[in-house]
Chain A
Amino acid sequence: MGKGLRQAYYIARKDLKAYYLKPPLISWGLMLPIVFILAFYLRNPQGISEISPGLVGMTMLFSTTSMAAIVISFEKRIDALERLLMAPIHLRTILFGKGLGAAVFGLVMALIAMVLMVFVFGLQVSYPFSLFVSLVISCFAFAFLGILISVGVREVFEAMTLSNFFRFPMIFLCGVFFPITSMPTALQVIGFCLPLTYSVDALRQSLLSHGGVIHRWLDILILAGFCLVIFEIALAIFRKRTQESN
């Protein structure tokens, strides 16, 4: 493993070890998705399959962005982020390490949701490989989105509030509860600019083998594009902010 990758791995490992029990993570990253899944199951147990791709996507979105808010803005507030900035590590590696920790947390949450749906609710998986790739790539896209939101703010609550500004509209615009194609054209345009749309679309095809808007591997390719673009924007802001702070 190269030096940069090794350092990113240690950063992610430390973050997971230190922060997985922080209150904002428990409430937003764990409780909220579980409550949503149970609420939809209790309302309509037979319909849980149709809604499962959206629920898994939402679980990943909330858990990764919550973790990203903690690992960036919480550490910024207590000056611990400076520890990393003082070490001989490239800014790109620091940010990737932070994103990696958030993505792994989101992946674990998504797998818990999947296990719950497969073994408790009897959900069938049609394409396990593309399902796994969709989960991984989605977690990275959402983690970098969370990092992007967090690098610009100082406090954890600001990061959480700003995250919600993006997260809640995405639930309604990205095909979580109803197909994106059933929305008015203007809203569809917005929906297709958001990564959760492609995540849910890929998951729907991988889990249910039907109902996709575009091919699932194209969804995955677009998500990879989101990862790159969001990461580079976050890195540019991070570079500017860290060098300008007094």
Chain B
Amino acid sequence: MEKNGIIQVQDLCKRFGELQAVDHLDFSVREGEIFGFLGPNGAGKTTTIRMLVGLLRPDSGSALVNGHDVQKEPVRAKESVGVVPESSNLYGELSAIENLIYMAQLYDVPKKEWEPRGEELLKEFNLLDRKDGKFQGFSRGMKRRLTIAAALVHRPRILFLDEPTTGLDVMSARGLRGVIKNLKKKGVTIFLTTHLIQEAEDLCDRVAIIVKGKIRIIDTPEALKEKVRETEVLEIKPNPVSQALPGKMEALVGVEKAVLVEDKLRLYGKSLHESVCQILNQLNAEGVGILSIQTLTPTLEDAFVKLTGVDAEVMRVDKPVKMGGPG
């Protein structure tokens, strides 16, 4: 583990009853980078973030945030941190500017800066025209933007984002990713969790893949893809689609992994080109027609499947979004 990381986590564990939610995590986040925690639902991402921001006590291990132990000096650790939880949980009864001023008060921002800082953030997040609108009347995208703005009122050095784009439409999610990239340019260190592989690939300087509470690998998206570059990927659109197809394909020599991605069959193997005839014959024998066939360049998703053994399909199941926010 790097000793100079702005976040340093050592041997962190958390158990809920029989479930080992977080299992001996070790990692370090460098100042100024966007560090992503990528994993399926229930992998331990949110539990980790909750321990790092002092909302949950670890069973064992330690976490240093900006040089402060989150258990021994929780208030000092929280001073340099902004947190955007998964649900947009500001106060529905308060207006946008009132919410930001309240956050400035809680984070002990000098009084003369409350309103100018609030207005500056509303402008930056394109919410200035809704300055006096109550939070409970905002759309989901606007609520998300204001929640991020609220986490930045005190100019934190580190921003924690838990599933930042979950539940947003495509345009809002894209806009939010732009905001996150801008924050990085301003020198803010960003720790985000996501179950969206594409999001991790787009945003993160480094990605930690977490499955069942354990980190499988930490590296840059490029390096992760490089690890599977020698793997060939073949995508076939079969007709009809059958859930039994991956299993039958994996039985063939040369096919290391087969998964269904929506209505397409994706096959992985080191020398897949040598097995193409076999694959086509097998599909023919099963009475399965082929609507299209193509080879693919490995993506982070392919790296994820190869490195974790977890079907990428489980990552596409969007998390249920908490409804009925404040107010």
When each residue 98-133 of chain A gets 1 if its CB lies under 8 Å from chain B and 0 otherwise, what string results? 000000000000000000000000000000000000
Q: Across the interface, which residues of B come within 8 angstroms of A243, CB to CB? A: 55-57
Q: Across the interface, which residues of A come within 8 angstroms of B76, CB to CB? A: 88
- Taking the nearest CB of chain A, how far is it from the CB of B84, in angstroms? 10
A243 vs B94: C-alpha distance when bound (angstroms): 27
A14 vs B90: C-alpha distance when bound (angstroms): 12
When each residue 1-33 of chain A gets 1 if its CB lies under 8 Å from chain B and 0 otherwise, what string results? 001001100110010011100000000000000
| Interface pair A10/B54, CB less than 8 Å apart | no
Residue with the greatest number of chain A CB neighbours at <10 A, chosen from B79, B93, B103: B93
- Taking the nearest CB of chain A, how far is it from the CB of B294, in angstroms? 44
| Interface pair A87/B106, CB less than 8 Å apart | yes
Q: If the complex has contacts A18-B93, A86-B83, are A79 and B57 also in contact, measured as CB distance less than 8 A? A: no
| Interface pair A7/B55, CB less than 8 Å apart | no
Residue B87 CB within 8 A of the other chain: yes
* Interface residues contributed by chain A, number (CB under 8 Å): 26
A62 vs B102: C-alpha distance when bound (angstroms): 28
Nearest chain-A residue to B105 (Cβ)? A10
Contact of B106 among A7, A79, A244 (CB under 8 A): A7
| Interface pair A82/B85, CB less than 8 Å apart | yes
Residue A35 CB within 8 A of the other chain: no
- In this complex, the interface size class of chain B, counting residues with CB under 8 Å from chain A, is 20 to 34
When each residue 179-200 of chain A gets 1 if its CB lies under 8 Å from chain B and 0 otherwise, what string results? 0000000000000000000000
Q: Across the interface, which residues of A come within 8 angstroms of B91, CB to CB? A: 14, 18, 80, 83
When each residue 196-227 of chain B gets 1 if its CB lies under 8 Å from chain A and 0 otherwise, what string results? 00000000000000000000000000000000
| Interface pair B75/A10, CB less than 8 Å apart | no
Q: If the complex has contacts A7-B105, A10-B102, A78-B325, are A83 and B57 also in contact, measured as CB distance less than 8 A? A: no
Residue with the greatest number of chain B CB neighbours at <10 A, chosen from A18, A80, A86: A86
Q: Across the interface, which residues of A come within 8 angstroms of B107, CB to CB? A: 87-88
Q: If the complex has contacts A10-B106, A82-B55, are A246 and B87 also in contact, measured as CB distance less than 8 A? A: no
Contact of A83 among B16, B54, B90, B325 (CB under 8 A): B90
Residue A233 CB within 8 A of the other chain: no
A89 vs B81: C-alpha distance when bound (angstroms): 13
| Interface pair A78/B57, CB less than 8 Å apart | no
Which residues from 187 to 246 on chain A have a C-beta closer than 8 Å to any C-beta of chain B?
Answer: 242-246
Nearest chain-B residue to A3 (Cβ)? B108
A213 vs B75: C-alpha distance when bound (angstroms): 46
Which residues from 33 to 72 on chain B have a C-beta closer than 8 Å to any C-beta of chain A?
Answer: 47, 53-57
- Taking the nearest CB of chain B, how far is it from the CB of A28, in angstroms? 19
Nearest chain-A residue to B325 (Cβ)? A78
Q: Across the interface, which residues of B come within 8 angstroms of A79, CB to CB? A: 85, 87, 89, 322, 325-326
Q: Across the interface, which residues of B come within 8 angstroms of A88, CB to CB? A: 75-76, 78-79, 107-108
Q: If the complex has contacts A7-B108, A243-B57, are A82 and B102 also in contact, measured as CB distance less than 8 A? A: no
| Interface pair A78/B89, CB less than 8 Å apart | yes
Q: If the complex has contacts A7-B108, A78-B89, A79-B87, are A86 and B326 also in contact, measured as CB distance less than 8 A? A: no
- Taking the nearest CB of chain A, how far is it from the CB of B157, in angstroms? 13
| Interface pair B78/A14, CB less than 8 Å apart | no
A85 vs B92: C-alpha distance when bound (angstroms): 18
Contact of B89 among A80, A89, A245, A246 (CB under 8 A): A80
Q: Across the interface, which residues of B come within 8 angstroms of A154, CB to CB? A: none
Q: Across the interface, which residues of A come within 8 angstroms of B56, CB to CB? A: 243-246
A86 vs B87: C-alpha distance when bound (angstroms): 14
| Interface pair A78/B85, CB less than 8 Å apart | no
Q: Across the interface, which residues of B come within 8 angstroms of A10, CB to CB? A: 102, 105-106
| Interface pair B75/A89, CB less than 8 Å apart | yes
Residue A84 CB within 8 A of the other chain: yes
Q: If the complex has contacts A78-B326, A86-B55, A88-B75, are A246 and B16 also in contact, measured as CB distance less than 8 A? A: yes
- Taking the nearest CB of chain A, how far is it from the CB of B291, in angstroms? 45
Q: Across the interface, which residues of B come within 8 angstroms of A80, CB to CB? A: 89-91, 326
A7 vs B107: C-alpha distance when bound (angstroms): 8
- Taking the nearest CB of chain A, how far is it from the CB of B52, in angstroms? 11
Residue with the greatest number of chain B CB neighbours at <10 A, chosen from A10, A90, A244: A10
Contact of B78 among A18, A78, A86, A245 (CB under 8 A): A86
Q: Across the interface, which residues of B come within 8 angstroms of A89, CB to CB? A: 75, 106
Q: Across the interface, which residues of A come within 8 angstroms of B81, CB to CB? A: 86
| Interface pair B89/A83, CB less than 8 Å apart | yes
Q: Across the interface, which residues of A come within 8 angstroms of B47, CB to CB? A: 246
| Interface pair A6/B108, CB less than 8 Å apart | yes
Nearest chain-A residue to B111 (Cβ)? A6
What are some 25 contacts across the A-B interface (CB < 8 A)?
A: A7-B105, A10-B102, A10-B106, A14-B94, A18-B93, A78-B324, A78-B326, A78-B327, A79-B85, A79-B89, A79-B326, A80-B91, A80-B326, A83-B90, A83-B91, A84-B106, A85-B55, A86-B54, A86-B83, A86-B85, A88-B78, A90-B75, A246-B16, A246-B47, A246-B56
The 3 closest A-B pairs by CB, nearest first: A88-B78, A10-B105, A18-B93
Q: Which residues on B are within 8 Å of A, measured CB to CB?
A: 16, 47, 53-57, 75-76, 78-79, 81, 83, 85, 87, 89-94, 102-103, 105-108, 322, 324-327
